[in-house]
Amino acid sequence: MERGKGTMGTRGRWIPAAALVVLPLLVPTPVKAYELSAGVSLGWLQAGTVSRLAVGPHAGISWPIQRDILFTVHDLCTILPPTQEDGPGVYSQTSVDIGYAWEDVNVSAGPSVAFYVVPACGITLCGRVGGMAVGGHAQSSAYVAGPLGVSVSANVNWIGGGSLVLPGYVSVVVVAGPVLRWSAKDIDPSEFNFVATVDDPGPGKVGGWQQARANLNFRRLTVPHTIKAWSCPITIKMPIRTEMMRLIDPGRAASLSEEIMEEVANVMDYHLPQGIFCKKFAT
C-alpha cells in the first residue's frame, strides 16, 4: 500500500494525565543547595514507523530534599534536521524528576510534558504532527573530569491522539552527549571562622577549645510560588585536639562544621516557622 502525504494536526487526550505532571510542582522543596547542568546531546527520535536524527541542548536544575535524594527539573529541546523527504521538526520536553546522587554519578526519573511539531509516518500516511503529550523521562549523568561528564537521556511520550497520521503512538527519544555542572551551596566552610576560647596547653591526649559564630541561610521553594528565605544564627564549639582526631586546626574545624550542618539541614522540616526551625536546627 502506498503511503500518502499530508499535514495533520492532533489533539490528544492529555488533560487527566497532565495532572500527574503538575502535582509534583506543588510539593515544597527545601533550597539548601542547588546544582545546574547543561549540555548538548545527539541521538534519535522514533515517532511512528520512521526514526529521525535528533540533536539539541538540554539543561537542568536540582535541589537535595533528603540526603542524596534530589528534586530535579530537566528541559530537553530536540531539533530534527531536515531530510530530502521531510522538513525540520522540534520536540521540546520538560520533566519533573526524583533522583539519587552519588559523588560523581546521578540518576533521575519522573513524569514529563512535551510540545512537538515533527514529521512522522504511520502505517499508511506520512505527514507533520504537532501538539502536546505527556509521558516519562529518565536520565543518568556521570562526571569523569571534575564538572565535565557524559549524560544519557531517554524520553517516552504518547503522541498522535486523533491524528490520521499517528492515531495514538508512543514516541521515543534517546540522546547522549557531554554535560557540564555548576554547584552552589548556602553553607560553605568559609562561614565558620574558628577562634580559640581555651588555649591548647600542649602535651596530653586532649586540650583546648575553639568556637565559630555564623548566620546560615535557608530557603524553601514551592513551585510555582516564590522562594521563602530566612537565616539562623548558630554557634559551634569544638576541641582543638582530641585523642581520636588529634589536632583540629581552624580550617579542618570549618570543613567538619560544613559537613555536619549539611547533614542536619537535609533532615530538617522546612515547613516549621522560622523561629522554631532555627531553634531545632541549633539543637
Q: What is the pLDDT of residues 89-145, one digit of tens each?
A: 899 999 999 999 887 899 999 999 999 888 877 777 777 888 888 899 999 999 988
pLDDT at 47: 80
Cell of residue 187, nine digits: 553553607
Strands (E), 186-226: 195-198, 207-221
pLDDT at residue 29 is higher than 60: no
Query: For the residues 257-270, what does the mean pLDDT come to?
Result: 81
Cell 562561614, residue? 191
Asked if omega into 224 is within 30° of 0 (cis), the reply is yes
Between 63 and 26, name the one with better pLDDT.
Answer: 63
Which of 22-31, 98-107, 147-156, 203-212 bottoms out in mean pLDDT, i.e. has the lowest? 22-31
**Is the separation of the CB atoms in 28 and 224 below 8 Å?**
no
Reduce the DSSP state of residue 174 to 3 states and report it: strand
pLDDT at 11: 37
**Alpha-carbon distance 173 to 281, whole Å?**
44
Residue 26 identity: L
**Is the separation of the CB atoms in 57 and 78 below 8 Å?**
no
Most confident of 31-45, 89-103, 222-236: 89-103
Cβ-based neighbour number of residue 260 at 10 Å: 13
Q: Candidates 1.10.10.1100, 1.10.3720.10, 2.40.160.20, 1.10.10.10; correct CATH number of 4-184?
A: 2.40.160.20
Reduce the DSSP state of residue 103 to 3 states and report it: coil
**Domain-wise residue ranges, the chain:** 4-184, 187-282
pLDDT at 14: 35
CA-CA distances (angstroms) from residue 175 to 26, 59, 100? 29, 13, 20
Phi, psi (deg, nearest 5) at residue 20 = -65, -25
Residue 51: pLDDT band (50, 70, 90) is confident
Cell of residue 249, nine digits: 586546626
Q: Which residues contact 267 (CB under 8 A, 6 or more apart)?
A: 66, 67
Between 9 and 74, name the one with better pLDDT.
Answer: 74
pTM across the whole model: 0.60
pLDDT at residue 271 is higher than 90: no
